[in-house]
A = this chain, B = another copy of it.
Amino acid sequence: MGGDHAPSAVVEGSARALARSSDSLSIVLTGDEEAIRRELGRIGFSSPRLVIHPTTQIVQMTDRPSQVVATKPDSSLVAGIRLVKEGIADGFVSAGSTGAVLAASLMLLERIPGVKRPALGAYIPARPSGVMLCDVGANIDVKPDYLLQFAIMASEYMRRVYHVAEPRIGLLNVGSESTKGQKVYVETHELFAKYLPTFAGNIEARYVLDGKVDVVVCDGFVGNNLLKFAEGFVVHLAARIAEGVKRFGDFDPASQKMTSLLRNVMREFDYEEYGGVPLLGVNGVCMVSHGSSGPRAMENSILAAFEAVQSNLVPSIREDITASVRAVEEAT
Whether B226 contacts A210 by the Cβ 8 Å rule is no
* Of listed A141, A210, A254, residue having the most chain B CB within 10 A: A254
Whether B205 contacts A226 by the Cβ 8 Å rule is yes
Query: In the bound complex, how far is the Cα of B181 from the Cα of A225, in angstroms?
Result: 11
As a 0/1 sequence over residues 192 to 204 of chain A, the CB contacts with chain B under 8 angstroms (1 = contact) are 0000000000001
Whether B248 contacts A236 by the Cβ 8 Å rule is no
Query: In the bound complex, how far is the Cα of B139 from the Cα of A182, in angstroms?
Result: 10
- Count residues on chain A whose CB falls below 8 Å from chain B CBs: 51
Whether A206 contacts B232 by the Cβ 8 Å rule is yes
Binding-face segment, A5-13, A24-32, A146-154, A261-269 = A261-269
Residue ID in chain B nearest A254 by CB atoms = B254
Residue ID in chain B nearest A260 by CB atoms = B244
Whether B225 contacts A205 by the Cβ 8 Å rule is yes
Within 8 A of B (CB), among A229-253: 229-233, 235-237, 240-241, 244-245, 248, 252-253
Within 8 A of B (CB), among A253-278: 253-254, 257-258, 261-262, 264-265, 268-269
* Of listed A205, A245, A268, A269, residue having the most chain B CB within 10 A: A205
Whether A264 contacts B244 by the Cβ 8 Å rule is yes
Whether A262 contacts B241 by the Cβ 8 Å rule is yes
Whether B229 contacts A206 by the Cβ 8 Å rule is yes
Query: In the bound complex, how far is the Cα of B186 from the Cα of A221, in angstroms?
Result: 13
Whether B261 contacts A232 by the Cβ 8 Å rule is no
Q: Is A108 an interface residue (CB 8 A)?
A: no
**A102 CB to nearest B CB, Å:** 13
Query: In the bound complex, how far is the Cα of B313 from the Cα of A6, in angstroms?
Result: 52
**A232 CB to nearest B CB, Å:** 4
With A206-B229, A224-B174, A233-B233 as contacts: A258 and B265 at CB distance below 8 Å: no
Q: Is A183 an interface residue (CB 8 A)?
A: yes
Q: Is A305 an interface residue (CB 8 A)?
A: no
Whether A204 contacts B222 by the Cβ 8 Å rule is no
Partner of A210, one of B232, B237, B252: B232
As a 0/1 sequence over residues 18 to 57 of chain A, the CB contacts with chain B under 8 angstroms (1 = contact) are 0000000000000000000000000000000000000000
Q: Is A89 an interface residue (CB 8 A)?
A: no
Query: In the bound complex, how far is the Cα of B181 from the Cα of A96, in angstroms?
Result: 21
Query: In the bound complex, how far is the Cα of B234 from the Cα of A240, in angstroms?
Result: 14
Whether A244 contacts B261 by the Cβ 8 Å rule is yes
Q: Is A191 an interface residue (CB 8 A)?
A: no
Q: Is A172 an interface residue (CB 8 A)?
A: yes
Query: In the bound complex, how far is the Cα of B204 from the Cα of A257, in angstroms?
Result: 34
Whether B221 contacts A207 by the Cβ 8 Å rule is no
Leading 7 A-B pairs by shortest Cβ distance: A254-B254, A206-B232, A205-B229, A205-B228, A206-B228, A244-B261, A205-B225
Beyond A182-B221, A205-B224: 15 further Cβ-contacts under 8 Å? A137-B174, A140-B181, A140-B182, A174-B221, A174-B224, A174-B228, A205-B229, A206-B229, A209-B236, A210-B232, A241-B261, A241-B262, A244-B265, A252-B257, A258-B261
What are 23 sample pairs from A and B whose C-beta atoms fall under 8 A apart? A137-B174, A140-B181, A140-B182, A204-B225, A205-B231, A205-B232, A206-B228, A206-B232, A207-B232, A226-B226, A229-B229, A230-B233, A233-B269, A237-B265, A237-B269, A240-B268, A241-B262, A241-B265, A244-B261, A252-B257, A254-B258, A257-B258, A258-B258
